Amino acid sequence: MTVRYAFKIAYDGRYYNGFARQPDQRTVEGEIIRALREEGLMEDPKRAKFRVASRTDKGVSALGNVIAFDSVKEIKLWNLYELNKRLEGIWFYGIKKVSSNFYPRHARMRWYRYYMHVDDKFNIEKFLEACSLFTGKHNFRNFAKIEGKKNPCRTIENIVIEWKDENTICLDFFAHTFLRHQVRKLVEALKKVGREEVDIFLVKEALNNPSIKIDFGTAEPRNLVLMNVYFDFEFEEDRDFYNEIYRIIEELASENYADK
């Protein structure tokens, strides 16, 4: 008899060529599946219905992504410590038994954080005005990588801005789902408004008239972190271990890679 489990995972995206498995590439998913097989917790990912909440891109890290799969073995929180020994820059820290039809992509909310570096010339008032444009439901065709006939409309529930220090802004985005590259493209547009490289009128035009193609660029991936994925239940977690991972992820994601 199989039991379905969901797991909270974190990873350093700098080590991997994105989350999703790719031929001849080192990916987060590929390494997790290898480790699960070695621990005897899963054999065939297809048969085990292996799923993930968010497939992050190359360079993007995570503090609270979620995976799920069916296992013929009972898995406890302490089993995750042995699993972590087989992984580099990937950490399991939470577990939950879930129903057989649970799919992590059906999350209630996702939270992404971007660590953005600014200088004394940065126009914070224009930046904040631009941030206010993106909350609510919009067609984000000019602020995402749209593949095929994918619906470009998304609803951003909230954008929260906090100062980590005098030169670093934590820019938090909350939404049910995001489009590919959406957060990084939004950040790049906001950054250019704050640097007064782009007029806010052009950002409004790109948002309100998606048929007009305007590309503001895509921000550096290594400053982006998937902070959490929310469900209507709580995970059993090692909070002390989580706090250790939080410090690691924050330190690496808040580096100023533009200066390197």
Which residue, 178, 182, 189, is CA-closest to 127?
189
Question: What whole-number distance in Å separates Cα of residue 28 and Cα of residue 18?
Answer: 7
- Residue 24 pLDDT class (50, 70, 90 cuts): confident
pLDDT (mean) for 252-258: 88
- Statement: residue 9 has pLDDT above 90: yes
Q: Do 3-106 and 109-223 fold alike per CATH?
A: yes
According to the model, what pLDDT value does residue 256 have? 86
- Statement: residue 59 has pLDDT above 90: yes
Which residue, 227, 149, 154, 228, is CA-closest to 185?
154
Q: Which of 12, 44, 57, 172 is catalytic?
A: 57
pLDDT (mean) for 127-146: 97
- Statement: residue 254 has pLDDT above 60: yes
- Statement: residue 148 has pLDDT above 90: no
Does residue 149 contact residue 111 with C-beta atoms inside 8 Å?
Answer: no
pTM of the full structure: 0.96
Angle formed at CA 150 by CA 144 and CA 156, multiple of 5 degrees: 50
Residues contacting 148, CB < 8 A, separation 6+:
none
Does residue 130 contact residue 197 with C-beta atoms inside 8 Å?
Answer: no
- Statement: residue 258 has pLDDT above 80: no
Q: Does domain 109-223 have CATH number 3.30.2130.30?
A: no
Question: What whole-number distance in Å separates Cα of residue 182 and Cα of residue 145?
Answer: 7
- Residue 23 pLDDT class (50, 70, 90 cuts): confident
Extended beta strands in the chain, E state: 3-11, 51-52, 61-71, 90-98, 109-117, 136-139, 153-165, 168-175, 224-230, 236-237
pLDDT (mean) for 168-179: 98
Domain boundaries, given as residue ranges, for the chain: 3-106, 109-223
Is-catalytic flag, 240?
A: no
CATH number of this structure's domain 3-106: 3.30.70.580
The alpha carbon dihedral of 251, 256, 176, 87 has a sign of negative
- Residue 259 pLDDT class (50, 70, 90 cuts): low
Which residue, 38, 4, 55, 90, is CA-closest to 177?
55
Phi-psi group of 170: left, alpha or beta (phi > 0 → left; psi -120 to 50 → alpha; rest → beta): beta
pLDDT (mean) for 28-42: 96
Burial, 137: exposed, middle or buried (Cβ in 10 Å; 0-12, 13-18, 19+)? exposed
Tokens of 114: 């971007």
Extended beta strands in 72-135, E state: 90-98, 109-117
Percent pLDDT > 70 in the chain is 99
| Tokens 């498995």 found at | 21
Q: pLDDT for 66-124, tens place per residue?
A: 999 999 899 999 999 999 999 999 999 999 999 999 999 999 999 999 999 999 999 99
Percent pLDDT > 90 in the chain is 94
